[in-house]
Amino acid sequence: MVKEVRGIQKYRGEVAPALLITPQKSSYGYPKLEPIIEEGSDEGFQIMPKRMMFLVPALFSFVSYYFLMYSKIK
């Protein structure tokens, strides 16, 4: 049976490769990504926590809303 298929392939010309590529075969060809390390000192720069990114605008909105409502009443 295999010999017959090989014989048919010879007469028809080239055969297209398989459409499905398994992840095991393709994963070996790609290098793993490494994290980028930035240069410089971290002494003067501190990263703000995520809570502050929410609380500061919320607090500012509350204070400005209260100030505007209180100033309209008087």
Q: Tokens 């992840």, residue?
A: 23
C-alpha to C-alpha distance for 35 and 32, rounded to whole angstroms: 10
CB contact set of 15 (below 8 Å; sequence gap of 6+): 9
Mean pLDDT of the chain: 71
Instruction: Provide the pLDDT confidence category of residue 8 given band limits of 50, 70 and 90.
Output: low
Instruction: Provide the pLDDT confidence category of residue 13 given band limits of 50, 70 and 90.
Output: low
> Residue 15: its pLDDT value, please?
72
- 29-58, pLDDT tens digit by residue? 667 788 887 776 555 556 667 777 888 999
> Residue 59: its pLDDT value, please?
93
Does residue 74 surpass a pLDDT of 70? no
Host H or E run for residue 68: helix 50-73
